[in-house]
Structure 1
Amino acid sequence: MPVAGDRLLRSPAALEAMEDGVATVRNVLGAEGAAVLLTERDGRLIMGASAGTAAEMSLGELSVGGLGPAARAGSPWVALDASDPAAAALQARSLAAAPLESQGRLTGLVVAVSSVSGRFVEADAVRIGRLADEMSLSLEKARVGELERSWRGWLSFVAEASDLLAGTLDQERTMALVAQLVVPRLAVWCAVYTVTEVEPDRLAYVWHADENRADGLRELLEHAGAAPPIDAPGPWNGLATAPDDVRAAAGDTAADQVYAFPLIARGRRIGTIVIGRPSGDRFPRSAIELAEELSRRAALAVDNARLFSAQTAMSSALQRSLLPPGIPEIPGLEVAVVYEPAGEGSEVGGDFYDVFESGLRPAGAAPASRWRFAIGDVCGTGPAAAAVTGLARHALRILAAEDMSVPAVLGRLNRLILAEGERGRLLTLLHGEIAARRRRDGVTITLTSAGHPPPLLLAPDGDVREAASPQPLLGVFDGVEFHTDTVDLRRGEVLLCVTDGVTERRSGNRLLGDGHGLEGLLAGCTGLSARAVAARIQRAVRDFGPEPSNDDIALIVLRAS
């Protein structure tokens, strides 16, 4: 099998060896011209270096076989006149030639040419044979050096690509990154197809080195044949199936050489990468090998991003189901809420809140006069925590509809969590009832804090105090008796209820709640609306530490108006 000459043409050392070699051959043999012809993998000959009249030599699609039996014999030879196939093919009247070999494989030929018949003799064949042996050694050394350099570049490229692909779990961004890794290093353009339930191969992303051609390429691909459902890399002629007017609009791109690489992850095809180069720019083997390796790594990255996106969507839907659809209007009271789950949305948070009417109100009955609110924190995250969150939130509403008191609701909920056994989770909960007063000068709140950060009461003069006594959290002890604390929330007063994602927000070794930090923040909110208080606390929590919070954040602000 011939050694591909394109690798030698990329080596400065090989180019120097070939240029020196043809000059030596021309001088030693007194030839009018000399050349090094390199073999491609398909046997085709390309020009490596030339001197004298050989610089005008046209090879076209000439192969080693086209030079006749002497060229295939693997020994130096001379052609005395133009009747020899080699001399005729190289537009010479006579020539001397010798093979270039590397590890028993043909690398190319060294030829000396003349416009005079009978110019070379057998002794010239011996001389050019010796020169070819010396040049073969130099070219082999250069080839090995170029191969090592290419492998170092290959490994560096693959390592860099792997790091970049591992750095994102966004499906669209992953596909864009794949295309931009391919272009322009391996191809002029790249397209990524994905397999979906609706479409077997959907054109998901297109990238062209020339931005002016990107739209035409996309149009061409959308009208071309579907990406091949292949299991191995190979050429693709799908562009030829596009309508003539679309091909005309795409210009030269319609004639590009195209290769397709399957994206196979976990034993199934999830898409295809298609890459293209101009028709005259052949794909070197190294580019195909690199693209094949990249497609394997890209397949896993795209599939991981797809799975993460599906998990995130499912978690987001579950999270929304665990939060109230809206906050009721309560006369004489402003209500503001904040909820921020930790992480990137791939897990369901353990914090929750709710505000709802207390008891059942038949249709046509008088407006509600009592409401319930709750803010809680289930230990942990994920589906197990979500199960307890759902149990707690729905149980609160159901039990409140039965007109159970706040302590009775917490007692029943505690028994329900304990009944879950190993599936149960610890739960801190602040639960209270809001009752409007006849004088419309505020509201009365009865509440219980079960293992939860105590609510803070802000007076109009800036004084801040705790508004509830601590009681046991839920899911630990059976038979706990809960009691309520009462808060008369007068006009202008604010009740702040938070989860420990606020009080335990960390900056180094310091927590936001250390040294009455939250009380200080709330004291600075005097005169603000409930919504403004919630926004200021939320911003303070975000700005407290340099790193994103690793805990859910929930808060309820109640302000008597």
Structure 2
Amino acid sequence: MTASAHFPSSAGSVAEARRYVREVLTDWQVPELADDAVLATSELATNAVAYAGTAFEVRCRLEDDDLQIEVCDHHPLRRPAMPGLEASGGRGLPSVARLATAWGVNYDRTTKGIWFRLSRGATGPAPLPVDFTVSAAPPVEARRSRADMAVDAVAGTVDAVRDLLSADGAAVLLAERDGRLTLEASAGLPADVPTTQLTMGGAGDIGGTPWVWRDGADRPLATAMRAGSLVGAPLQAQGRLIGLLVATAAEPGRFEESDGSRIARIADEMALTLERARLGELERSWRGWLSFVAEASDLLAGTLDQERTMALVAQLVVPRLATWCAVYTVDDTGTAGPSYVWHTDENKSDGLRGLLDHLPPGPPIEVPGPWPAWSAAPESARETAGPIADDTVYGFPMVARGRRIGMIVIGRPAGDHFPRGALDLAEELSRRAALAVDNARLYSAQTAMSQALQRSLLPPDIPAIPGLEVAVVYEPAGEGSEVGGDFYDVFSCAPDPTTGRPTWRFAIGDVCGTGPAAAAVTGLARQAMRILAAEGMRVPAVLARLNALILGEGARSRLLTLLHGEITPRPGADGMRIAMVSAGHPPPLVLDPDGRVREVGTPQPLLGVFDEVDFTADTIELHRGQVLLCVTDGVTERRAGNRLLGDAQGLERLLAECAGLSAGAVAAHIQRAVRDYGPEPSGDDVALIVLRVS
């Protein structure tokens, strides 16, 4: 059986070649050869891309128990290169030699093909071809640009270091952000080496030069690696220590100073390999990070609720970056306390919250890093929390507009260290979360203030009027962060001086605009109407005085439409007499018991425009079952596309449907119709008063 495929010279072609070989061997039902075949093909394909720089072809042939794979490129070089013993890169061909039962090189006029053979049941390395030369390989960074290739190179180099120095073991240890060392690759180390407990501090003051410990006693790193003697060299890239390359021996005195020089040369080249792989991995990680940060930013920008914002922050962190997360906020005393806690295991959330609550209060941290307060919890709280008390914990300050408003604390179980990328991403998220939380806090404060101001501009309650049902509706536009311009009022007055009968006043108005400026006019109008009514001033005179007061505000004044009326019971308790003035306001409607609707009142100038306006009152009488509806333009001008609710007597038809209903039912019917009229929320305040003679 034969198969072949062509691949371009690109970084992705190596992975494509690996997948192709695995698929072919799966089809040929020889899965036991797949792992070795894919690894060897990967090495040869990498060489074709990195050295030849041409397209290449992978040819597969299976005869009986022998599988032969050949990678052909179009480079004119006639001899493949094998690295010297001390080289830290270029070990792809020796890897193929160790895996294959046979291998070699074929040439024709246009291609060079390197082949290898695997046999089912055969083991052992193949001998080197007689025409294979030993020479220095090109710099390792020219061919190891991918993270998986770097891992292969590191593993091969560890074996080479062990052989070169006749050591019992060798290892590459990489430095994490918190100073811990992780075992990246090793050969020959004892199985009980505590790889999670190695720290850079245990290596001593290594500086930038290799070191030889002929006696490992009292050396924490040597003790941890079960070494009687140890030789090592720092791995440095761009002036930064990224790890250690070490070789170990069980007995003391196995290494000389010359061994330090030899391992140092290997470490220098390996550091370039690791740094290049780190940068490539970092670039790929950043693509994922940018997507994550963009998603987080969109979510955080989608709410201005402080509690929900903190919940989003914690749920973005868990479980992508950490096992648990706590969001701290700062109170008025400058003390930081946990406001939201989230754990991947809900059963552990209470224990985590209890542990955090028992920590000594204090200000938020100033710089990102391991959280110093974690170990300060009382022993009783640590026992209750169980293993959580031993978690690895980091904290990140939340700073917005130059103020520390809290911090984000994240944790993972002991031994499960944080990758550097997770900590970098958590730090970036803390900056964005700080602005989101601060914006939500400011918005909440503004909303609370606006709502308090709005409540102060509306009557606390509606007085009971014998023989008259009264219903009111008020809905400010927006999300409650601004004070609306509409208002209403119903209040009792002094008895009529002529008849001695009790009287009440009502008002519904609309100030031009919203916010504090409109609120000032609303407050002025409401208080002025109550004060002037208490002095016995009639409704037209009240509006004339109020008009003068608004004009007296000068540049701060706002236009005001107002419907103001006085309610007086008719003699014999037969209905109500209403004297009212409509100053630029939508005229009220009267609904008769038989369903007929008519408009009442004479339009008159709105307030805040003209001096010396003489207002006159229109008097109407309401009998049993009749309804008076007063609305603001947020009702009549409710929009759905190009149509308004008030067009073509739309409000009159709505009111006609309410014949026989109580005042409350009429108000609810109109309110529901306004809400349902258009697909979008109303952009204007809505206020209405319903008076019905019972």
Q: TM-score, normalised by structure 2?
A: 0.70
| Match for residue 341 of structure 2 among 206, 214, 222 | 206
- 3-state DSSP of counterpart to 1:56: coil
- 3-state DSSP of counterpart to 1:546: coil
Provide closer, same or farther for how the CA distance between residues 241 and 129 of structure 1 changes in structure 2, counting only shifts above 3 A.
closer
Larger mean CA deviation between 34-43 and 435-444 belongs to 34-43
CA-CA distance at 1:391 after TM superposition: 1.0
- Work out whether 1:515 is the aligned partner of 2:648: yes
Provide closer, same or farther for how the CA distance between residues 62 and 556 of structure 1 changes in structure 2, counting only shifts above 3 A.
closer
- Work out whether 1:397 is the aligned partner of 2:535: no
Q: Could you tell me which residue of structure 2 aligns to residue 378 of structure 1?
A: 511
- Work out whether 1:310 is the aligned partner of 2:445: yes
CA-CA distance at 1:559 after TM superposition: 1.0
The answer to whether the 8 Å contact 1:233/1:262 transfers is yes
- Work out whether 1:56 is the aligned partner of 2:164: no
CA distance in 1, matches of 2:584, 2:549: 17
The answer to whether the 8 Å contact 1:226/1:238 transfers is no
The answer to whether the 8 Å contact 1:261/1:295 transfers is yes
Structure with larger RCO (C-alpha < 8 A, sep 6+): 1
The answer to whether the 8 Å contact 2:495/2:502 transfers is no
- Work out whether 1:535 is the aligned partner of 2:671: no
Larger Rg: 2
Letter aligned with residue 603 of structure 2? P
- 3-state DSSP of counterpart to 1:15: helix
CA-CA distance at 1:44 after TM superposition: 5.3
Q: Could you tell me which residue of structure 1 aligns to residue 370 of structure 2?
A: 235
Which whole-Å deviations, capped at 9, do the CAs of 1:212-269 have from their partners, x for residues lacking one? 1111111111111114443333433434333322221110112223333333333333
Q: Could you tell me which residue of structure 1 aligns to residue 296 of structure 2?
A: 161
Provide closer, same or farther for how the CA distance between residues 398 and 256 of structure 1 changes in structure 2, counting only shifts above 3 A.
same
Q: Could you tell me which residue of structure 2 aligns to residue 275 of structure 1?
A: 410
Provide closer, same or farther for how the CA distance between residues 514 and 42 of structure 1 changes in structure 2, counting only shifts above 3 A.
closer
Provide closer, same or farther for how the CA distance between residues 43 and 341 of structure 1 changes in structure 2, counting only shifts above 3 A.
closer
CA-CA distance at 1:34 after TM superposition: 5.5
Letter aligned with residue 476 of structure 1? V
Letter aligned with residue 528 of structure 1? L
- Work out whether 1:170 is the aligned partner of 2:298: no
The answer to whether the 8 Å contact 1:14/1:143 transfers is no
CA-CA distance at 1:289 after TM superposition: 3.2
Q: Could you tell me which residue of structure 1 aligns to residue 22 of structure 2?
A: none
| Match for residue 18 of structure 1 among 134, 142, 154 | 154
CA-CA distance at 1:551 after TM superposition: 1.0
Which whole-Å deviations, capped at 9, do the CAs of 1:8-50 have from their partners, x for residues lacking one? 9x95444344345456767899988664333445765432123
The answer to whether the 8 Å contact 1:442/1:560 transfers is yes
CA-CA distance at 1:296 after TM superposition: 2.8
Provide closer, same or farther for how the CA distance between residues 128 and 244 of structure 1 changes in structure 2, counting only shifts above 3 A.
closer
Letter aligned with residue 433 of structure 1? E
The answer to whether the 8 Å contact 2:521/2:557 transfers is yes
Q: Could you tell me which residue of structure 1 aligns to residue 56 of structure 2?
A: none
Larger mean CA deviation between 389-398 and 157-166 belongs to 157-166
CA distance in 2, matches of 1:163, 1:268: 23
- Work out whether 1:559 is the aligned partner of 2:683: no
CA distance in 1, matches of 2:554, 2:468: 39
Q: Could you tell me which residue of structure 1 aligns to residue 182 of structure 2?
A: 46
Letter aligned with residue 323 of structure 1? L
Provide closer, same or farther for how the CA distance between residues 354 and 39 of structure 1 changes in structure 2, counting only shifts above 3 A.
closer
Which whole-Å deviations, capped at 9, do the CAs of 1:370-424 have from their partners, x for residues lacking one? 2211100011111111111111111111222222222222111111111111111
Letter aligned with residue 377 of structure 1? D
| Match for residue 286 of structure 2 among 129, 146, 151 | 151
Q: Could you tell me which residue of structure 1 aligns to residue 67 of structure 2?
A: none
Q: Could you tell me which residue of structure 1 aligns to residue 623 of structure 2?
A: 490
Letter aligned with residue 306 of structure 1? R
The answer to whether the 8 Å contact 1:228/1:236 transfers is no
For structure 2, list consecutive stretches of 5 or more residues without a partner in the other structure.
1-143
The answer to whether the 8 Å contact 1:191/1:274 transfers is yes
Q: Could you tell me which residue of structure 2 aligns to residue 294 of structure 1?
A: 429
CA distance in 1, matches of 2:251, 2:494: 114
Provide closer, same or farther for how the CA distance between residues 16 and 495 of structure 1 changes in structure 2, counting only shifts above 3 A.
farther
Which whole-Å deviations, capped at 9, do the CAs of 1:56-113 have from their partners, x for residues lacking one? 37255556787799x87756x9999999x99987557999977655346554455677
CA-CA distance at 1:338 after TM superposition: 0.2
Provide closer, same or farther for how the CA distance between residues 446 and 318 of structure 1 changes in structure 2, counting only shifts above 3 A.
same
Q: TM-score, normalised by structure 1?
A: 0.85
CA-CA distance at 1:294 after TM superposition: 2.7
- Work out whether 1:37 is the aligned partner of 2:170: no
Larger mean CA deviation between 494-503 and 187-196 belongs to 187-196
CA-CA distance at 1:439 after TM superposition: 3.5
Matches within 5 A, 1:153-552: 153-197=288-332, 200-359=335-494, 369-552=502-685
Provide closer, same or farther for how the CA distance between residues 329 and 80 of structure 1 changes in structure 2, counting only shifts above 3 A.
closer
The answer to whether the 8 Å contact 2:236/2:242 transfers is yes
CA distance in 1, matches of 2:496, 2:438: 50
Letter aligned with residue 441 of structure 2? R
The answer to whether the 8 Å contact 2:233/2:260 transfers is yes
CA distance in 2, matches of 1:222, 1:244: 13
- 3-state DSSP of counterpart to 2:649: helix
The answer to whether the 8 Å contact 1:328/1:355 transfers is yes
CA distance in 2, matches of 1:233, 1:39: 18
Q: Could you tell me which residue of structure 2 aligns to residue 5 of structure 1?
A: none
CA distance in 1, matches of 2:635, 2:669: 12
For structure 1, list consecutive stretches of 5 or more residues without a partner in the other structure.
1-7
Q: Could you tell me which residue of structure 2 aligns to residue 3 of structure 1?
A: none
CA-CA distance at 1:495 after TM superposition: 1.0
Provide closer, same or farther for how the CA distance between residues 198 and 537 of structure 1 changes in structure 2, counting only shifts above 3 A.
farther
CA-CA distance at 1:189 after TM superposition: 2.1
CA distance in 1, matches of 2:554, 2:222: 93
CA distance in 2, matches of 1:231, 1:278: 24
CA distance in 2, matches of 1:299, 1:170: 14
The answer to whether the 8 Å contact 1:456/1:465 transfers is yes
Provide closer, same or farther for how the CA distance between residues 276 and 319 of structure 1 changes in structure 2, counting only shifts above 3 A.
same
CA-CA distance at 1:183 after TM superposition: 2.3
CA distance in 2, matches of 1:87, 1:508: 79
CA distance in 2, matches of 1:119, 1:233: 43
CA distance in 2, matches of 1:68, 1:469: 96
- 3-state DSSP of counterpart to 1:334: strand
Residue correspondences, number? 547
CA distance in 1, matches of 2:374, 2:178: 25
Provide closer, same or farther for how the CA distance between residues 391 and 27 of structure 1 changes in structure 2, counting only shifts above 3 A.
same
- 3-state DSSP of counterpart to 1:461: coil
CA distance in 1, matches of 2:490, 2:667: 16
The answer to whether the 8 Å contact 1:171/1:309 transfers is yes
The answer to whether the 8 Å contact 1:220/1:239 transfers is no
Matches within 5 A, 1:80-91: 90-91=225-226
CA distance in 2, matches of 1:201, 1:116: 54
CA-CA distance at 1:197 after TM superposition: 2.8
Provide closer, same or farther for how the CA distance between residues 108 and 345 of structure 1 changes in structure 2, counting only shifts above 3 A.
closer
